[in-house]
Amino acid sequence: MSTVQIPIDENLSDGQWHERSVIIEDRHVSVMLRFSAGKWQGFQNVCPHQGRRMDYAPDRFLVTPKGTLVCPAHGAEFRPTDGFCINGPCRGASLKPVEVSEGEAGTLTLKAAWFSGSCA
């Protein structure tokens, strides 16, 4: 399983979803991250329906009042807790998870099996 470390900047832990592009095995990979209720969450920034990005503008995501994530392309709606699609054209599919853990010296370690061989 591949891992990468990124710095925790001042915006990243504000409770909102943020996009970060990381380089893994010489490839750029876009992930979406959030710190909420005392824990980090992360997913690949790619909708499972047609592979579009989940952010509608740089570092901006559509979130409903109840907190679900909405794909800007065709409106698929995802639970933020596990990335499961509860409504829309890819109902039953899921965002690819990223394991996020906070390390020492203000860094996050991102880990995912899909990092290897991904071209996102």
Site residues (CB under 6 A) for ligand FES? 47, 49-50, 52, 71, 73-76, 88-89
- 50 or 101, CB closer to ligand FES? 50
* Residues 116, 72: Cα–Cα separation, whole Å: 27
- 6 or 88, CB closer to ligand FES? 88
- 95 or 98, CB closer to ligand FES? 95
Q: Give min distance, CB of 104 to ligand FES, in A.
A: 37
Q: Give min distance, CB of 114 to ligand FES, in A.
A: 17
Tokens matching residue 6: 């990124």
Give the DSSP letter of residue 115.
G
Q: How many Cβ atoms are within 10 Å of 90's Cβ, its own excluded?
A: 18
- 28 or 56, CB closer to ligand FES? 56
Q: Give min distance, CB of 91 to ligand FES, in A.
A: 10
Tokens matching residue 116: 């290897």
